[in-house]
Structure 1
């Protein structure tokens, strides 16, 4: 119950930002953020009535938001049980990495023409991860890692790519929950995030893309191994 109350409190705190024109979209965005930030984990129930009270929106609005997130593969409806946060399958994991390579590597290739503030967001995410690690807040390290990869794809400069990446990386956060120790998983990638950012800053795009491909290959192999061990 305390964990459920935590994410509901976050929804309630953000409800003033729910706009009238696209209320269901906004509620879906708030729920997606709870997933991306690690507050909602695979298998968690998302109670319709409690969410409606927290967000102060109608049942129909909640159901439309659920429909949007079910289509994004973040939630699943179970007959006579309700709506739950989805578990990513091993096949789904492989597909996530397939698409991530396309989007993030294109972001790296676009870095030379990206605005300075876009590259600065990559560096800010790296620094956030390092600060969170220094404080021993490993769930926050996971959130910073998600923001880092979002910022890489955002170097493309396409709102459509940004939207697709947000959806993909929310799914990735669900994958992170499958790892037993957040520190054990995330700690080795802090230095790799820093190295990748340094290569981008130096303008060594070929080396940056090679580093990113190796990074994604290693992360996928590590997560796939963890999935197999759980079966």
Structure 2
């Protein structure tokens, strides 16, 4: 917990003089998405509030916002915890991803496209793989898909998917072999990038659809083995 709190203290400067519950929620959401707070982690009001330099009321409002986004859960007389997802949650996350991400690619205008962010995420993933940083590769993978959604140029779509990608990170934490999950998708990210660089959005959408279906199958397989099917 000390390491996570040290990271939050580094984020304190982001709050500035306009500290709000929404800004605190943004920071915590990002930290969850980056894997600093695994599922089941209890979030201490005193420790996190002290690290960020915000009041208890502000922090509680931030917790409320993130609970509404299904990233946190409040347990009576126990506190606030990072949510542990179910199989049904994972399936719904991927259903949303497929609807939104494929629609973004399908709706792209005429090329060329602004692909610097996608290319940077692929490079980030390659560097993580070279360093055997498989959790880092998972983060780079999320960055790739966040940049893909960003091609829509829609602030509302970005906001919607920001929470979805944070939930996705919670799902990844259950995977006991992150290399097996993430490594194959580095090559697939490159293929999607190359298709978009060639201006072939139909091929990019086709690859993306298969990609997401395969990823869902793998993650659900792991979930059924680790947390069980909660039907």
Structure 1 unmatched runs, 5+:
none
Partner residue in 2 for 1:145: 141
Matching residue of 2:24: 27
Contact 1:35 1:173 in 2 (8 A): yes
**Contact 2:113/2:196 (CA < 8 Å) preserved in 1?**
no
1:88 aligned to 64, 67, 85, which one? Answer: 85
**2:66 counterpart of 1:69:** yes
For 1:79-228, list aligned pairs within 5 A. Answer: 79-113=76-110, 116-117=113-114, 119-228=115-224
Q: In the aligned structure 2, how far is the partner of 1:27 from the partner of 1:38?
A: 17
For 1:110 and 1:147, locate their aligned partners in 2 and report how far apart those are by CA, in whole Å. Answer: 20
| Residues 1:40 and 2:37 aligned together | yes
Q: How many residues align?
A: 227
Contact 1:105–1:153, Cα closer than 8 Å, also in 2? no
User: Structure 1 196/83 Cα, relative in aligned 2: closer, same or farther at 3 Å?
Assistant: same
Q: Say if 1:114 and 1:157, in contact at 8 Å, map to a contact too.
A: no
Q: Distance in 2 between matches of 1:8 and 1:229?
A: 32
Shift in alpha-carbon separation, 1:104–1:58, aligned structure 2, 3 A: same
Contact 2:40 2:84 in 1 (8 A): yes
Distance change (3 Å), C-alpha of 1:57 and 1:124: same
**TM-score, with length taken from structure 2:** 0.94
Q: Hey, what's the Cα distance between the residues in 2 that align with 1:217 and 1:192?
A: 13
Which sections of structure 2, spanning at least 5 residues, go unmatched?
none
Q: Partners in 2 of 1:129 and 1:56 — Cα distance?
A: 34
Q: Note if contact 1:114-1:156 (Cα within 8 Å) is conserved in structure 2.
A: no
How many Å apart are 1:33 and its aligned residue?
A: 1.1
* Structure 1 residue runs of 4 or more that deviate by more than 3 Å after TM superposition: 19-22, 110-117
The match for 1:55 is: 52
Rounded Cα–Cα distance in structure 1 between residues aligned with 2:194 and 2:24: 37
- Tell me how far apart the structure 2 counterparts of residues 138 and 202 of structure 1 sit (CA, whole Å): 29
The 8 Å contact of residues 114 and 155 in structure 1, kept in 2 or not, is answered as no
Cα displacement string for residues 36-93 of structure 1 (whole angstroms, at most 9, x for unaligned residues): 1111100011101000100011000110000010011001111111111001111111
Higher helix share: 1
